[in-house]
Structure 1
Amino acid sequence: MRTVRIRQCQVIFIALTLIAASFHATADAQVAASAFVNFEASQTNPVRLSPTGTRMFAVNTPDARLSVFDLSQPSNPRLMKEIPVGIEPVSVNPRTDDEAWVVNQVSDSISVVSVSRGIVTDTIYVKDEPSDVVFAGSKAFVSVSRKNEIRVFDVNTHAQIGAPIAVFGGNPRALAVSPDGAKVYAAFALSGNRTTLIPFTNAPAPPSPTNTLLPPAPQQSIIVDATDPAWNPSFIKFTMPDNDVVEINTATMAVARYFSRVGTINLGIAVRPTNGDLYVANTDARNLVRFEPSLRGHSVDNRITRIEVASGTVTPFDLNPDINYSILPNTAALSTALAQPTAVVFDPGGNFMYVAAFGTDRIARVGLDGSILSRIEVGNAPGPRHKRGPRGLALKPNAQRLYVLNRLSNTISIVNTVSETVLSEIPVGSFDPTPTVIRNGRGFLYDAKLSGNGTSSCAACHIDSDMDHLAWDLGDRGGQMQTVLGNNGLSFQMHPMKGPMVTQSLRGVNELDPLHWRGDRGDFLAFNPTFDTLLGGAQLSSEDMAAFRDFIKSLRFQPNPNQNLDRSSPETFAGGSPSAGRYSFIFENYAPALSCNSCHEMMPGPGSNRLIIPANLLQEPQAFKVPHLRNVYQKLGFNNTPGASTIGGFGLVHDGSDSTLFGFLSRPVFGTFANDTTRKTNLSAFLQCFDTGFAPAVGYSQTLTAANVNESSAGGWVLLEQQTLFNVDLIAKGTIDGRMTGLFYRRSSDDYQTDRTGVGPFTRPQLRNKILAGDTLTVMGVPPGSGIRMGIDRNLDGVLDGDAAARSNRSVDFDGDGKTDISVFRPSDGAWYILQSASEFLMSQPWGLSSDKLAPADYDGDGRTDIAVFRNATGIWYILNSSTSTFTFTQFGMSGDLPVPGDFDGDGKADLAVFRPSSGIWYILNSSDATLRVQQFGRSGDHPARGDFDGDGKNDLAVFRPGDGTWYILQSFNNVFRAQQFGTSGDRPVPGDYDGDGKTDLAVFRPSNVTWYIQQSFNNTFRAQVFGFASDQPSPGDYDGDGKTDLAVFRPSDSSWYIWQSSNSSLRARQWGASGDFSVPSAYIP
């Protein structure tokens, strides 16, 4: 096939045999890594069903959106709405079919979402790192994980009720409600296991090496059970309750009791509906086992633990009871293992539960006694690059469907609970911005199938790339001495019996080489042997290890909640002055020529100069690398004061032996500071406010309405604008003149660019006026460099989000002003007569023969419709390109085909496409790469329907079957088939975006009663309106430019147009055309 372009001087039709040269240029579906910051938030309950079970709500964590699915066809969820929320949403809970509360971990907020309005209606600020929300009566309970609190809000006013409920446990996340609503339960995700440390000064000498060539090991601490009578109460004079689950009375909002010895890492909790017993998905750490060879392939046990609420009895059940851990590799175990359970959901009868095994891509059906009744594979493609990572479960029992949200692939698997098979897998949203470098490497952290038996992964200790707040002794009595060369040229001999070390976060390790507490790993690639020596598997290939490293380099710490929003420190914190502490840290010496900043460089570094300090200078038995300080504030859960009760058993420094910064600074090595109470208090305050790399204004958001936009609390809007100088980009999401709009703040011009050409920009006062007039906007600080992506161009393809949605549903806009132009084709002279809406300019263009089929579309991607026809006799397309005033002849199709051009590949240009009625086959020539797509979809007698029914910016294959009034749609964003009866025999399909949500709605015009019937996708509501005569040509289009398709007809008898404008619900009439003309907007309506 060949395409010929000719400068327009005189229109000449030439019949040619045309052959087109093909090329391949694939567009990357992800965005550049520089515009995406990976905080690796920890999903808790990322998918839930509405109370009626008719809708599914799922968080699209990387895209900062909530996806809402219609479950009218439970096997084929239909994405009906995507609503922008806060940064890295981790949980959702729908209170009604229309209202959902979304928990945003990085934004430290709850987004209250209205599905019908498609926006966030309120933002509740809840720092630090909220994880889940549940409802009990008129109260909403929110777990605030980093603060170890539960906060309660009124579900109607959103006001906080009472003071935060302090809970004594580590990191409360997953929540559940008793069947009678009288109790709320919170599982402590990082609860520990009652292990703690005996410091090296008090511990016995380490055992002798089994390698006789080794020297004696350095003196080191030991890990013990805090209740071990050998140490308690002689040395351990504090208590560790090891609280794993807390019960809260919903009426009094008081803690009723705690349950202990449930598990170490507790990520999921569910209530048995029949008797209220609790079942907790957890792993239990085996860190009391000393030395790496003894832990090889068995560092944790994967469990479900039952709590009998009546008696308080706690019974753990091993999910892998049949595995022989002494066999490595264990092929049989790899095929059945259930690793890192994260979610639990009960069947309504309470007879069994489903448990998500995040590490091995399996769902287990589990009996009440912990027995494994069956396993369902959700990830059949082998290898970490294809890992799913099931993290959330939602059950629709009456439809026998289980929905599994997969964190790593950002998809939802639909499971038939009868056959226990995956029916299909669909994307969580229409777009996933996750960069390729993260997709390629992330699975290596979480894939337990890389271990020798499938029971553990790197993430078994590095929970969601972070810490488990435990110490492990991974030394090797039979190992070898290691020579380590520091960055300053000093050489160190490292003993393989290194003693206990607390788990370090994998976040922020970029440019921190060497790694590990002792600096004994030159770079991240040096960790490869761990896949063998600790996990019991095989080392990765160099290519895979490099992919793993590149992913790890993407990880970032979240903002420090102890700082002010503008990144400054508070005047006072924890009894001290952070500013005075900062001065002491940088400028004051605790020993000659030594300040804190001498080693813990904070400008420009993250609190480390990356050097290994000799043991004698540290007054330690071993040399250690200078650690960074960005997450010190997260390590203060240990209290070893005599008589105290402590949540954690490990604190600061390499083995966790120091419980406070004040105590750490009291060590003799700190010279003059060691006995200076004021300086130590100020330094402690400063270090707890140490910068993590991002300002707390990142993620901070406010929802502005007419009720609050003029209040003093709205000053956060001004503050966010001020922070755009260094700390954030600023975006806004909501409505402008009633239409969903995204905005990006441009500091240089002090205004807000919108996501639609021709709308705005607006200043803050202008936006305030619009809010006072009824609009709602949520302003939010986002990481620097990500504002355009998160605000106005979701996929960074250069097409604004609002323009992309409009383009996919726009028709016959010849002047590119965003409005449908009144236009006709006159067969008697082969001319097009166009009334351009932008200027009321008359345009006439001879183009075509009386027998040609009209094919207007934007073939050159300039935002203007091109005049085009399809010649039925020859299958040749004749296109007049508006961008260059050239025309093309392209042979594509054959006699009898129906032209249905559209943007099927999402490149912003209409593709040549035909539907062949004789066979029901579609033929599409993708403009992006000139490849041919052939697909059978439909049958003889069907009418092809043009439109973007799923709102992903691409045309979908769709047909209307007049025999029974059924629509058949193949959604392009998830390749899911959808069938829906809407219409009757004799109806004419008139699809369009009648509600302005960016998705094509099902619609028909019924000549028998001149009624339009529309199924609006925005809120799934039905609309019927009488409009027109039976002999009219239905000509829907967006004639008023408000983003919504208007009802319109062309009446050939008097050459009049009648348009019902959606913007103001008014009738517009205009004479245009002559008897015998054809309406161009009705070109694709049968």
Structure 2
Amino acid sequence: MGASVGAQAQTKPNFIAFETGQVRPLAQSADGTRLFAVNTPNNTLEIFRITSTGLQLESRVPVGMEPVAVALRNDNEVWVVNHLSDSVSVVSLSGTPRVVRTLLVGDEPRDIVFAGSPARAFITTAHRGQHLTDASIAGVPGAGDPKLTTAGVGRSDVWVFDPANLGNQLGGLPLKIMNFFSDTPRALAVSPDKNTVYVAAFKSGNQTTSVNEELVCDSFELNKPCTIKETTVPGGRLGPQTNAEGKPAPKAGLLVKYDKASKKWLDEKGRDWTKAVMYTLPDKDVFAVDANALTEKSFFSGLGTTLFNMAVNPTTGKLYVSNTESNNMVRFEGPGKHGGSTVQGKIALSRISVVNNGQVTTRHLNKHIDYSKLADNPSFDWTAKNHSLAFPMDMAVTKDGRKLYVTAYGSSKIGVFNTSELEADTFNPRTASSNYIDVTGGGPAGIVLDEARGQMYVMTRFDNAVKVINLSSKAEVGVAKLPNPEPAHIVAGRPFLYDAKLSSANGESACASCHIFGDEDALAWDLGNPDDVVTKSPIPGKFTDPTQFAVAKVIFNVKNKINGSDDPKDFHPMKGPMVTQSLRGMRNQGAMHWRGDRATGEFGTDAFDTTISFKNFAGAFAGLLGNKEHMSEEGMNIFAKFILDVQYPPNPVRNLDNSLTPAQKRGSDFYFGTRPSDGFKISLLGSTLSPNNNCNGCHTIDATKGQYGSNGMQSFEGIAQIFKIPHVRNMYQKVGRFGAPAQPFSTAKGSGFLGDQVRGYGFVHDGSADTLAHFFTVRVFSPTLNSGFPLFNPDATRRDVEAYMHAVDSDLAPIVGQQVTLTASNAATAGPRVTLLMNRAKAAFVSKELGGNTTECDLVANVVEAGTARSYLFNVSTGNFETSTGTSRTDAALRGLAATAGQEVTYTCTPPGSGKRIAFGS
């Protein structure tokens, strides 16, 4: 992948959709004369002059890729957080607005605030990323190895900078990188006295976790304990034993939740599974930080499962946290008749939690909904959705602290609450909704109050615009449309992911209830449907040898011996807990769901047709989201065209030059090598080896086919169901759960109790494997089953393969999005990074999603020359940088511009094919 190419491919798309969630997209200047808005798809900061006649565009500044938050340091400087670029753009407003410095931070930064005395900048990031380990910040507290495979390490970072002293290091010199014991953070807030910063985890979890099927007694006697490999568990399977047509359910694991009162892990029947859970989940949702000492003061729990945004009451100091609370302990979708329960229409409650002097109270915004009545009930209240708010996000509180405004992303509304009624939980959504403000365009993501003018500004993501709304009349009195490079099908399809009024009968549920911003929620759900029927899988299996399949079927029958068994190729509608999968990068993956069971459905049956498989989710709009009917084929076509274009971000663990570390390289060599790794197949075939016996034989990585771990086929590995072979691109996102009991499918001993952990779910379909290295001890890899072949032995080999899995290939090279700003004082440190970006723009890359043979990135440079903003695009053939008019500068000449104050040059590696559009707008 490192060879240079002479010309770029011509078939690359000029826009890549990432579906990044905005966090703080709007900010107003202290004097009230300017409004700043991040234009996420256009990679720009829009600067408006606020006038009596509306918003007038004053300037447009190219920043990093996928900007999501903006904050003002002072009247002359604005900071912008770039989610995909792992950077912060420091924008000077003096003269022609321009980026004067690019700070490099951890992976996927989301929010920024200024606090403390003197003021410091606080930026939330994931605890990983190439900049965390960069030598230029060696010695900074918190920098270095992210310890992806070490228990007890928080996955949440906040980078703290002194804005008055950024240093001459490559990406600026942070004062400290604070680490918090939670998953990746999102929102920040500041106390009225500016001395406390609040840090919120994003997918914080809800103290639920999964118990693997092998640790569940092989019976339906619920309260008859048994001992499985020295672990005593309370009883058998939850049931029912069959679906409604009488076909036996496959054996499956179950979900448990930590009960704070008893300090036990309990299932839905109240049985104690504590001995089967080798860790605790402290549920640290929000942290209070001393903004001056840069130390953690306290934390708060129980605020929600997914935390979106925070706001502080300026008079009382109370903290408001917008969130959803997931209902994943309730089993099954569908009508709930044969199974006895259903989560239909009650997936995730939209809430605002209040923290007051350390005490947490939660307020359900849609408490008017009667969840006991489904849409097929004659007495269902069809007016309920008119009063519902879905996906509460950004908030603003009036200066007197009496009123709170919250954007409802999935409802095209602004919720309006008296803070006293919200805090006391005395508001009635049916009457309170008369104060709600309808917003045209859809997807309100950001809000700023301009009380002096009696108006507010709202960022609407669906139509990429800023709306001006009169606070008294609640009428839209102005609009500023932002340039939007998204293709029409992206814009048209986005509402199908979020719009709860379109998707559900009660107006609270949508696909994004679990698939947050097109990704996943870091939870497992048991969403089988006992009232549904068994279907047959059309997906080919890896068992091409008749003997293999015969043995597989025998094992399957043994697994399900308590009530007989159907063919292992069945898709039984009851399937047990499975972690939410991402909606990203699905185009070339074939059948969907862990088992691939959406290969069959109302729109057809096909083992490899991704569009048909996605359209077969139409029934989930009724059976899961709670709508009266399935989504129409026309609607599913629009939805599919949008979502199948959404991509994974570049891998943040792999080196920026696309090379592998020694450990990753050893793991890659084993993965693709000739040494066998599948002990089950070897035990059946003896010494007859084939390419299918290595890791890549099942988990195929082939960029020419768009395959990154999944070849679209099924496999059976000694468990109770047959599964589609999954992809491996997001393994680094699953880090944070450590601790597992000794399990029969594993050759390793149990870990013992490991104490507090960040996440309740790890790897495999139900999230019950704590680490990849532990998963690699399962007996399918066991040396005892492979006729003497040395497989994952010694343990170091398992660790090497684990390291490679965290750095695995993807559709985009790791350099995509990366930036650097060359200034008059940092040439020594920033110059080599410019060279790296140029070299990666020349390097060959293969990606089916990007049109086949291409380069790792397009390189764009932005500079203000003598007061005029110019963009350049790197030509890999000539080695020069060209303007839209065809004039060019050499590399040396462009770098030379930065020697003059005010002519800083910012370089950005964009996705291949996007460079011309991003540089020149076409």
TM-score w.r.t. the length of structure 1 is 0.67
Cα distance in structure 1, aligned partners of 2:436 and 2:477: 11
Aligned partner of 1:362 in structure 2 is 413
CA distance in 1, matches of 2:252, 2:243: 18
Q: Deviations over 1:849-893 (max 9, x none)?
A: xxxxxxxxxxxxxxxxxxxxxxxxxxxxxxxxxxxxxxxxxxxxx
* CA distance, structure 2, for counterparts of residue 353 and residue 773 of structure 1: 47
Q: Secondary structure at the match of 1:331?
A: coil
User: In structure 2, do the counterparts of structure 1 residues 44 and 212 end up closer, same or farther at CA, with 3 Å as the change threshold?
Assistant: closer
SS of aligned partner of 1:766: helix
Q: Which residue of 1 aligns with 2:239?
A: 207
Q: Is contact 2:448-2:456 (8 Å) kept?
A: yes
Partner of 2:72: 94
Task: Provide the residue aligned with 2:101 in structure 1.
Answer: 122
- Offset of 1:419 from its aligned partner? 1.8
Question: CA 1:40–1:380 in structure 2 vs 1: closer, same or farther (change >3 Å)?
Answer: closer
AA of the residue aligned to 1:270: A
Match of 1:150 in 2: 158
Of 140, 151, 158, which aligns to 2:121? 140
Give yes or no for the alignment of 1:544 onto 2:635. Answer: yes
Preserved contact between residue 713 and residue 725 of structure 2 (Cα < 8 Å): yes
Residue 422 (1) aligns with residue 513 (2): no
Letter in 2 for 1:753: E
Taking the aligned partners of 1:786 and 1:448, their CA distance within structure 2 comes to: 32
* 1:388 maps to which of 433, 442, 447: 442
1:33 CA displacement: 8.8
Letter in 2 for 1:274: T
Q: 1:448 aligns with which of 495, 500, 509?
A: 500
Note if contact 1:65-1:86 (Cα within 8 Å) is conserved in structure 2: yes
What SS does structure 2 have at the residue aligned with 1:71?
strand
Question: Structure 1: any 5+ residue segments left out of the alignment?
Answer: 1-30, 382-386, 572-576, 797-1086
Matches of 1:704 and 1:275, distance apart in 2: 44
Q: Which range moves more in the overlay, 95-104 or 80-89?
A: 95-104
Q: 1:351 aligns with which of 392, 402, 410?
A: 402
State yes or no: 1:742 paired with 2:783: no
Equivalent position amino acid for 1:772 in 2: A
Aligned partner of 1:319 in structure 2 is: 365
**Aligned with residue 661 of structure 2, among 555, 559, 570:** 570
C-alpha displacement of 1:783: 0.4
Matched, 1:493 2:584: no
Name 1:474's counterpart in structure 2. 527
Once the two structures are TM-superposed, the CA of residue 323 in structure 1 deviates from its matched residue by 1.3
CA contact (8 A) 1:361 1:377 kept: no
Indicate the larger mover: 324-333 or 335-344.
Answer: 324-333
Q: Aligned runs of 1:857-876 on 2, under 5 Å?
A: none
Q: Does 1:784 align with 2:912?
A: yes
Please state how far the C-alpha of 1:326 moved relative to its aligned partner.
3.0
The 1-side partners of 2:761 and 2:535 are apart by: 27
2:348 maps to which of 276, 300, 303 = 300
Candidates 512, 534, 551, aligned match of 2:624:
534
Q: Distance in 2 between matches of 1:376 and 1:412?
A: 21
- Cα displacement string for residues 972-1001 of structure 1 (whole angstroms, at most 9, x for unaligned residues): xxxxxxxxxxxxxxxxxxxxxxxxxxxxxx
Corresponding position of 1:733: 862
2:724 corresponds to: 625
- The Cα of 1:609 is off from its aligned counterpart by 4.0
Which deviations, in whole Å up to 9, do the C-alpha atoms of 1:919-954 show, x marking residues without a partner? xxxxxxxxxxxxxxxxxxxxxxxxxxxxxxxxxxxx
In 2, distance between residues paired with 1:422 and 1:241?
A: 44
Counterparts of 1:313 and 1:173, CA distance in 2 = 22
The residue type equivalent to 2:589 in the other structure is L
**2:320 corresponds to 1:279:** yes
Aligned to 2:786: none
2:391 pairs with one of 320, 340, 343: 340
Superposition deviation, residue 765 in structure 1? 1.0
- Equivalent position amino acid for 1:551 in 2: F
Q: Give the match's secondary structure for 2:192.
A: coil
1:196 aligns with 2:209: yes
Residue type of the alignment partner of 1:683: V
Shift of 1:146: 5.3
Question: Greater strand percent: which structure?
Answer: 1
Aligned residue in 2 for 1:802 = none
Is contact 2:242-2:248 (8 Å) kept? no
Retained in 2: the 8 A contact 1:107–1:700? yes
- In the TM superposition, 1:750-899 aligns within 5 A as 750-756=879-885, 760-774=887-901, 775-791=903-919, 793-794=920-921, 796=922
Question: 2: distance between equivalents of 1:643 and 1:770?
Answer: 55
1:904 aligns with none
Q: CA deviation at 1:233?
A: 3.6
- Alignment match of 1:520 (pick from 572, 593, 597): 597
What is the count of residue pairs matched by the alignment?
744
Query: How far does residue 442 in structure 1 lie from its aligned partner after superposition?
Result: 1.3
Residue 425 of structure 1, CA deviation? 2.9
What pairs with 1:673-684 in structure 2 (closer than 5 Å)?
673-684=791-802
**Distance in 2 between residues matched to 1:79 and 1:771, nearest whole Å:** 27
By relative contact order (CA 8 Å, sep 6+), the higher-ranking structure is 2
Deviation at 1:178, TM superposition (A): 0.6
Task: Judge conservation of contact 1:701–1:781 (CA < 8 Å) in 2.
Answer: yes
Structure 1 residue 197, shift from structure 2 partner: 1.0
Q: Distance in 2 between matches of 1:708 and 1:481?
A: 65
Q: Distance between the aligned counterparts of 1:335 and 1:328, measured in 2?
A: 17
Distance in 1 between the 2:173 and 2:313 partners?
29
Match of 1:181 in 2: 194
Q: CA deviation at 1:50?
A: 1.6
Of the structure 1 ranges 687-696 and 463-472, higher mean CA displacement relative to structure 2 is found in 687-696
Shift of 1:156: 1.6
Compared CA separation, residues 212 and 739, structure 1 to 2 (3 A): closer
1:436 positional shift: 0.9
Q: Bigger CA drift: 34-43 or 327-336?
A: 327-336
How many Å separate the matches in 1 of 2:439 and 2:185? 33
Unpaired runs of 5+ in structure 2? Answer: 1-9, 129-155, 167-171, 217-235, 266-270, 335-341, 376-380, 544-567, 600-612, 683-688, 740-750, 784-790, 843-854
Contact preservation (8 Å) 2:737, 2:770? yes
Q: Given that residues 608 and 627 in structure 1 are in contact (C-alpha distance below 8 angstroms), is that contact kept between their aligned partners in structure 2? A: yes
- Secondary structure class of the residue paired with 1:657: coil
1:483 to 1:378, Cα distance in 2 relative to 1, 3 A: farther
Separation of aligned partners in 2, 1:647 and 1:751: 48
Which residue of 457, 469, 486 maps to 2:510?
457
Higher helix share: 2
The answer to whether the Cα contact below 8 Å between 1:487 and 1:610 also exists between their aligned partners in 2 is no
* Deviation readout 1:318-351 (Å, 9 max, x if unpaired): 1011111233434211212100111111111111
Tell me how far 1:694 sits from its aligned partner: 1.2
Matched, 1:36 2:15: yes
Match of 2:634, as an amino acid?
E
Measured in 2, the distance between the counterparts of 1:400 and 1:569 equals 56
The alignment partner of 2:861 has SS state of: strand
2:798 alignment partner AA: K
Partner Cα separation in structure 1 for residue 127 and residue 26 of structure 2: 22
Deviations for 1:945-973, whole angstroms, at most 9, x for unmatched residues?
xxxxxxxxxxxxxxxxxxxxxxxxxxxxx
Distance 1:656 1:603 in 2: 26
Q: Does 1:688 align with 2:795?
A: no
- The 3 A distance-change label for structure 1 pair 211 and 144 is closer
Given the superposition, is the C-alpha separation of residues 448 and 146 from structure 1 closer, same or farther in structure 2, using an over 3 Å criterion?
farther
Say if 1:473 and 1:498, in contact at 8 Å, map to a contact too.
Answer: yes
Residue of structure 1 equivalent to 2:556: none
Q: How far apart are the structure 1 equivalents of 2:711 and 2:363?
A: 44
Given that residues 214 and 480 in structure 1 are in contact (C-alpha distance below 8 angstroms), is that contact kept between their aligned partners in structure 2? no
